[in-house]
């Protein structure tokens, strides 16, 4: 599979007018293939595998917020990166999720071809599914290289997306508390 992808990269390099045999590019198709496979390895992970039983009983019913989770993904329209931060909150309903698992859930969905809106929703639904929380809120702020490097070249623009589930959706005070903590 890696070799197939490397061959395609070699063709792309040729089609762009470069010489894929020259010294600096000789190993590029293989390196690029491996990099692209790494950037899309989320397709080969499952929620069950990454959570791996790290759901613990807890009586806390106060909001749990995990802020500033680094996020690296790739837009499905241009195959260029988008980079940002993800904030996740949930209202436990008898269970809490191990802290490190939030970053792993973010990664699993970010390491795919994505659009930011779908990524936000997938993370929220995964946290909901795993914790059975009373509510889940996810906000992603990201800068898209496809906007910054090409086309309109709006280098300082960033995009914010959010998904509110359960009590975060139904209860405005809860939602407001979350947004205040995030901003």
Binding site for Zn ion (CB under 5 A): 75, 77-78, 146
**Min dist. Cβ of residue 161 to Zn ion (A):** 14
Distance of alpha carbon 60 from alpha carbon 90, whole angstroms = 11
Verify whether residue 177 is a known catalytic residue.
no
Nearest to 38 by CA among 81, 92, 90: 81
CA dist 152 to 84, 91, 164, Å? 20, 40, 31
Q: Is 78 annotated as a binding residue?
A: yes
Which residue, 111 or 175, is less far from Zn ion as judged by CB?
111
Verify whether residue 77 is a known catalytic residue.
yes
Nearest to 146 by CA among 95, 85, 49, 75: 75
Which residue, 58 or 157, is less far from Zn ion as judged by CB?
157
**Min dist. Cβ of residue 146 to Zn ion (A):** 3
Verify whether residue 18 is a known catalytic residue.
no
Verify whether residue 41 is a known catalytic residue.
no
Choice among 10, 86, 114, 116 that is catalytic: 116
Verify whether residue 76 is a known catalytic residue.
yes
Q: Is 75 annotated as a binding residue?
A: yes
Tokens, residue 129: 């599914």
Choice among 37, 129, 141, 146 that is catalytic: 146
**Min dist. Cβ of residue 112 to Zn ion (A):** 14
**Min dist. Cβ of residue 171 to Zn ion (A):** 35
Choice among 7, 44, 70, 77 that is catalytic: 77
CA dist 107 to 22, 40, 65, 94, 137, Å? 35, 10, 18, 25, 17
Verify whether residue 86 is a known catalytic residue.
no
> Residue 111, exposed/middle/buried by CB under 10 A (0-12, 13-18, 19+)?
buried
Annotated active-site positions, please?
A: 75-78, 116, 144, 146
């Amino acid at each position: 599979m890696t070799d197939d992808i490397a061959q395609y990269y070699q063709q792309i390099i040729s089609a762009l007018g470069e010489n894929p045999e020259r010294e600096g590019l000789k190993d590029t198709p293989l390196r690029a293939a491996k990099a692209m496979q790494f950037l899309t390895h989320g397709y080969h992970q499952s929620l069950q595998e990454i959570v791996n039983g790290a759901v613990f009983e807890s009586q806390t019913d106060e909001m749990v917020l995990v802020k500033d989770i680094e996020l690296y993904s790739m837009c499905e329209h241009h195959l260029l990166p988008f980079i940002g931060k993800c904030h996740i909150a949930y209202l436990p309903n008898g269970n809490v999720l191990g802290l490190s698992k939030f970053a792993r859930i973010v990664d699993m969905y970010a390491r795919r071809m994505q659009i930011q809106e779908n990524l936000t929703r997938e993370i929220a639904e995964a946290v909901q599914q795993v914790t059975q929380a009373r509510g889940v809120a996810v906000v992603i702020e990201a800068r898209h290289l496809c906007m910054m490097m090409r086309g309109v070249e709006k280098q300082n623009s960033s995009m914010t997306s959010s998904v509110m589930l359960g009590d975060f959706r139904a209860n405005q005070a809860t939602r407001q508390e979350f947004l205040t903590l995030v901003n």
